[in-house]
Copies of this chain bind each other. A is one copy, B any other.
Amino acid sequence: MGAKNALICLGGGPSPVINASLQGVLERCLAATDKMREVYCASHGIEGVLLEELIDMRQEDPRELARLRSTPASGAIGTCRYKLGAGREEDFDRILEVFKAHDIGYFFYIGGNDSMDTADKVSELARQAGLELVAVGVPKTIDNDLGDEACTIIDHTPGYGSAARYWANLIREVDEENRGICVSECVSVFQAMGRAAGFLTAASRLADPGREMPLQLYLAECSHSLEFLAENVNRQLHESGRCIVVVNEGFDVGDIGARVDGFGHIEYGASQKSACQGVVNYLNSVKLRARGYANCQVPGVLQRCTGVQRSPVDVQEAYEVGLHGADLALAGESGYMATILREPGAAYRVRYDKVPLRVVANSERFLPESWIAENRIDVTDDFVRYAAPLIGEGIAPLEFENGILRFARLERHMTAQRCPKYVPVGMRG
């Protein structure tokens, strides 16, 4: 394949380190001038491809691009939750039209399982149409729900280490807060993201591997009832005089008045009642011991966009798996997602590998049964050994300007449009 242009998309929800992966991919692509002439980022992922809104990355100030590593969330380029698939075949034709018009020979998709599904479909479509296209995925999801439970496909996903660190330190701080307040008994309830996977809820245990805190985890994998939760809380109040409860956002508290996103997933933040509020109301309506009452905290999007709590390990790995993804593409390895695998041995070390997109597309990983404690409201030491290295030491590089976080400021020069106007199927009517 002669020199072609490269296109990078972000997909799905933001993460604290998604831009570190973007920086890794960009760095290699911008340097590979013999193979990649122009390097584009689609504004807002696949929606930007459909709308032919392509940002010319060669025009950006390299000093600002260097700041991507300390810039959480995906405001720099934009992401989307647009679903390609049945009933939207026109969209696929449009993608190929845009690819041809801009001579795209390299296609990168940074995202979770839905994004890998999209990348796989686009790759297959290009092959059928006889288009020369190297398609490579780069993993990203704070939920850590991509791959297999044995961690043979991927050990963990970039973004998880930072979100885990957010939860671990949050619980550490809340324990300090609760120990300090009134002698009256108090139950602090928190709601963690993660959909059907309990990895984020589980990360709270990293605050206290020695199990000294009155901490209870309600993992998505366990499907507990409110009655079971209330019994546990009352027992904890009897023992400790206080309790910290972390429930997964999908904890069943009856009808929450749910809304769904473009992929048919529940948007828990937009429901009429949060799982956390449901738990708090139940606890405050039943007889809690003595003077106890429960209070409600829903950090919501903060757990996926907070820059200050990013894990230095996560930032570095997100960057390196981006580099590796670009290396795969430059070596002509199409149809793969770059992966992070853990080396055997006591010291934490990783290596970067690859897995066919097809294997991870729409894959889903849950917290393995062997990592759930016998009491069903905790995780095992094996989980702690798995997750502890991911939150890292010290703090990741940060830049402040007058006390406010300073993020990358991109100019977003749009490349000239060459195709007719198009309205994506999912945006019609």
Interface residues of A (CB under 8 A from B): 10, 13-14, 44, 47, 71-82, 165, 168-170, 172-184, 188, 206-207, 257, 259, 262, 267, 269-270, 272-274, 277, 280-281, 284, 293-302, 304-309, 311, 388, 391-395, 398, 400, 402-405, 407, 427
| A51 and chain B: residue at smallest CB distance | B183
Contact assessment for B296 and A269 in the assembled complex, using a CB-CB cutoff below 8 Å = yes
| Known A-B contacts A80-B182, A262-B182; A305 and B75 likewise in contact (beta carbons under 8 Å) | no
Minimum distance in angstroms from A179 CB to a CB of chain B: 4
| A403 and chain B: residue at smallest CB distance | B391
| A306 and chain B: residue at smallest CB distance | B173
| A304 and chain B: residue at smallest CB distance | B177
| Known A-B contacts A297-B302, A405-B169; A182 and B44 likewise in contact (beta carbons under 8 Å) | yes
Contact assessment for B398 and A403 in the assembled complex, using a CB-CB cutoff below 8 Å = no
Contact assessment for A297 and B269 in the assembled complex, using a CB-CB cutoff below 8 Å = yes
Question: A404's contact among B168, B181, B257, by CB below 8 Å, is which?
Answer: B168
Which residues of chain B are within 8 angstroms of A71 by Cβ–Cβ distance? 176
What is the bound-complex CA distance between A421 and B293, given in angstroms?
27
Which residues of chain B are within 8 angstroms of A175 by Cβ–Cβ distance? 75
What is the bound-complex CA distance between A2 and B230, given in angstroms?
55
Contact assessment for A277 and B274 in the assembled complex, using a CB-CB cutoff below 8 Å = yes
What is the bound-complex CA distance between A267 and B187, given in angstroms?
13
| Known A-B contacts A206-B404, A404-B172; A298 and B301 likewise in contact (beta carbons under 8 Å) | no
What is the bound-complex CA distance between A392 and B402, given in angstroms?
7
13 A-B pairs with C-beta separation under 8 A: A14-B177, A72-B176, A72-B177, A79-B180, A79-B181, A81-B182, A169-B308, A170-B306, A172-B405, A173-B305, A174-B305, A267-B293, A295-B300
Contact assessment for A395 and B400 in the assembled complex, using a CB-CB cutoff below 8 Å = yes
Question: A301's contact among B177, B182, B300, by CB below 8 Å, is which?
Answer: B177
Contact assessment for B82 and A182 in the assembled complex, using a CB-CB cutoff below 8 Å = yes
Contact assessment for A176 and B392 in the assembled complex, using a CB-CB cutoff below 8 Å = no
Which residues of chain B are within 8 angstroms of A270 by Cβ–Cβ distance? 280, 284, 293-296
Contact assessment for B181 and A80 in the assembled complex, using a CB-CB cutoff below 8 Å = yes
Which residues of chain B are within 8 angstroms of A47 by Cβ–Cβ distance? 182-183
Contact assessment for A301 and B297 in the assembled complex, using a CB-CB cutoff below 8 Å = yes
Which residues of chain B are within 8 angstroms of A293 by Cβ–Cβ distance? 259, 267, 270
Minimum distance in angstroms from A389 CB to a CB of chain B: 9
What is the bound-complex CA distance between A184 and B267, given in angstroms?
13
Contact assessment for A407 and B300 in the assembled complex, using a CB-CB cutoff below 8 Å = no
What is the bound-complex CA distance between A297 and B295, given in angstroms?
14
What is the bound-complex CA distance between A298 and B302, given in angstroms?
10
Minimum distance in angstroms from A8 CB to a CB of chain B: 14
Contact assessment for B274 and A296 in the assembled complex, using a CB-CB cutoff below 8 Å = yes
Contact assessment for A181 and B299 in the assembled complex, using a CB-CB cutoff below 8 Å = no
Contact assessment for B388 and A393 in the assembled complex, using a CB-CB cutoff below 8 Å = no
* 19 new A-B contacts at CB < 8 Å, known A73-B177, A169-B308: A71-B176, A72-B173, A72-B176, A73-B173, A75-B178, A77-B180, A79-B182, A80-B183, A173-B307, A173-B405, A177-B301, A206-B404, A267-B293, A269-B295, A270-B280, A270-B296, A297-B300, A297-B302, A391-B402
Minimum distance in angstroms from A137 CB to a CB of chain B: 19
| A47 and chain B: residue at smallest CB distance | B183
| Known A-B contacts A293-B270, A297-B298; A75 and B280 likewise in contact (beta carbons under 8 Å) | no
Contact assessment for A403 and B311 in the assembled complex, using a CB-CB cutoff below 8 Å = yes
Minimum distance in angstroms from A260 CB to a CB of chain B: 10
Contact assessment for A309 and B308 in the assembled complex, using a CB-CB cutoff below 8 Å = yes
Which residues of chain B are within 8 angstroms of A10 by Cβ–Cβ distance? 180
| Known A-B contacts A274-B277, A281-B272, A295-B267; A388 and B400 likewise in contact (beta carbons under 8 Å) | no
What is the bound-complex CA distance between A311 and B184, given in angstroms?
30
What is the bound-complex CA distance between A306 and B168, given in angstroms?
12
| A307 and chain B: residue at smallest CB distance | B173
Question: A403's contact among B174, B298, B392, by CB below 8 Å, is which?
Answer: B392
Minimum distance in angstroms from A221 CB to a CB of chain B: 25
| A308 and chain B: residue at smallest CB distance | B308
Minimum distance in angstroms from A143 CB to a CB of chain B: 16
